[in-house]
Amino acid sequence: MTSVEKKSSAPVPAGWTYAPAPESTEIVSLRDRYGLYVGGKWLETAERFTTIAPRDELPLAEVAQASEADVANAVAVARSAFESWSALPGSERAKYLFRIARILQERAREFAVLESLNGGKPIKESRDVDLPLAAAHFFYYAGWADKLEYAFPNRAPRPVGVAGQIIPWNFPLLMLAWKIAPALAGGNTVVLKPAETTPLTALLFCDVVRQAELPPGVVNIVTGDGSTGAALVDADVDKIAFTGSTEVGKAIQRRLAGTGKKLTLELGGKAANIVFDDCALDQAVEGIVNGIYFNQGHVCCAGSRLFVQESIAEPLIEKLKKRMATLRVGDPLDKNTDIGAINSKIQLDKIEELVQAGRDEGAEIYQPPCRLPEKGYWFAPTVFTNVAQSYRIAQEEIFGPVLSVLTFRTPDEAVEKANNTPYGLSAGVWTEKGSRILWMAEHLRAGVVWANTFNRFDPTSPFGGYKESGFGREGGRHGLEPYLAFDA
Ligand code: NAI
Ligand code: MG
């Protein structure tokens, strides 16, 4: 017998590191400064602020800070545009929406780069998720514009009037699309306020509006901070659509009580992602990673509480940690990046505070080794085990790449623990058993329940919450309803 010589090391290099693959920013041309987009014109304001790139803290442009008077003016312009816009046949309004959708597709790369630059999300997400979905929303609602009486038979739908729309910084262009597309399809005009840290794709969208030759005043964009948002709430609008924090959502609801203005609120969440012992484990691990590390965890429906059936907790957490070690944190514009920059210093401070609370309360933390860039705002993917239901990290929305793991033994226990939250936006269930999926979906108090997947969006599917996650639905036929008034 010949003895086979054993090699001391494998004949492959020890590590396969990715070469940098940065997307060029050349496709985006920014102005030094932007005004408010009102009535198809750019208006100057007395005050301005600087918007930066969270990956390196460098300034990108100066942006207008709209005052109460600026907002009142924008709403008045939207109101005067309402008369002729709402009188157009739905089939005519649809043409504009189709045009906007096509232009967004044509200019997708430009928008994706700008979204990642201003907001910090990985380019592969802005390119493959935000942009296709934003265009899809315009396509979808274009299709409804001339069919409103079929969407709501015998109810004589008509537009509400002027919609004030306030959006957050986690999906800037996509939230704009969620808000503007159904509003215009229904025959309303809008004044939209982007979030203060991410105004640039909304301002670039004004150029799409111009290209599409939308009549002036139908879409107006006013930039500014929370005071601009508050001014919009108080202005002469017929409806407010808000996506953001539960705290501001409650303040808006108090403000609007008794005014007769319509309101929809899409607020925070603390979703349960529930993994049963009969699931496809590797698939579940991918879903868990996608559920919490997608968009740095800046996602209202993020699967931030992982509930694992006790019998598989150990192998699952081991697999999860291995997978986390492969995630690449870094430049949002690099095509290989999985986790980009945290959106702002304020958000980073909030994440750090809650993670410290998790440590102090006694949870066990794991972060894979990764080198974070020196400039900019970063947070390593994090998982906490040994978490009790009462810990702040199990109760409060962290809105960062931080997962809290809890365990359960029976489906009843999973439901009870999952529903033990002030929120009710989304949930995930991982099991091979169809009847269990249906039973869980029936018992979970969440607006969206994903089965064997997570963070899936489609313009045809309504999205929205229960309890402190808000009310009203966006997407689907349901998403048209808040923008319509009915006689019957
Ligand atoms: P925020 O609720 O303050 O901001 C969202 C939008 O509301 C922004 O456009 C902001 O300018 C505007 N706004 C702020 N104060 C307002 C007021 N009084 N009246 C009208 N509009 C106002 O959210 P923020 O401070 O950026 O984030 C705080 C936390 O909120 C996050 O850590 C996260 O937990 C949660 N959040 C949830 C979001 C979701 O998608 N449901 C989105 C953003 C934040
Ligand atoms: Mg705030």
d(CA 336, CA 297): 18
Q: Whose CA is nearest to atom 13 of ligand 1?
A: 226
Query: For the segment 30-85, what is each residue's pLDDT rounded down to a tens digit?
Result: 999 999 999 999 999 999 999 999 999 999 999 999 999 999 999 999 999 999 99
Burial of residue 224 (CB within 10 Å: 0-12, 13-18, 19+) is buried
Query: For the segment 369-398, what is each residue's pLDDT rounded down to a tens digit?
Result: 998 999 999 999 999 999 999 999 999 999
To the nearest whole number, what is the mean pLDDT of the chain?
96
Neighbour-count burial for 21-33, b at 16+ CB within 10 Å, e otherwise: eebeeeebebeee
452 Cα to the center of ligand 1, angstroms = 30
**Taking Cα atoms as reference points, which of 68, 71, 62 lies closest to residue 37?**
71
CA 330 from chain centre, in angstroms, equals 20
Burial of residue 54 (CB within 10 Å: 0-12, 13-18, 19+) is buried
Q: Quick one: which H or E segment has residue 76?
A: helix 68-87
Indicate if 149 belongs to the active site: no
Which of 246, 248, 344, 421 to mutate for ligand 1's pocket (most ligand atoms within 8 Å of CB)?
248
Query: For the segment 301-351, what is each residue's pLDDT rounded down to a tens digit?
Result: 999 999 999 999 999 999 999 999 999 999 999 999 999 999 999 999 999
Q: Which residues pair with 263 in a beta bridge?
A: 240
Ligand nearest to the CA of 196: 1
Distances (CA, A) of 329 to 172, 293, 324: 21, 10, 10
Catalytic residue among 125, 300, 396, 397: 300
Ligand nearest to the CA of 226: 1
Query: For the segment 429-473, what is each residue's pLDDT rounded down to a tens digit?
Result: 999 999 999 999 999 999 999 999 999 999 999 999 999 999 999
189 Cα to the center of ligand 2, angstroms = 26
Catalytic residue among 110, 115, 196, 266: 266
Which residue reads 């990715």 in tokens?
18
Residues with CB under 6 A from ligand 1: 166-168, 170, 193, 195-196, 225-226, 229-230, 233, 243-245, 248, 251-252, 266-268, 300, 347, 350, 397, 399
The model's pTM: 0.96
Distances (CA, A) of 324 to 270, 277, 292, 320, 328: 21, 21, 11, 6, 9
Q: Whose CA is nearest to atom 24 of ligand 1?
A: 245
Ligand nearest to the CA of 301: 1
Pairing status of strand 448-451 against strand 272-275: unpaired
**Taking Cα atoms as reference points, which of 470, 420, 462 lies closest to residue 445?**
420
**Taking Cα atoms as reference points, which of 466, 467, 471 lies closest to residue 482?**
471
356 Cα to the center of ligand 2, angstroms = 21
Indicate if 301 belongs to the active site: no
Burial of residue 471 (CB within 10 Å: 0-12, 13-18, 19+) is middle
**Taking Cα atoms as reference points, which of 170, 93, 96 lies closest to residue 343?**
170
In 285-344 the beta strands, taken as DSSP E runs, fall at 305-309
d(CA 86, CA 131): 28
CA 153 from chain centre, in angstroms, equals 32
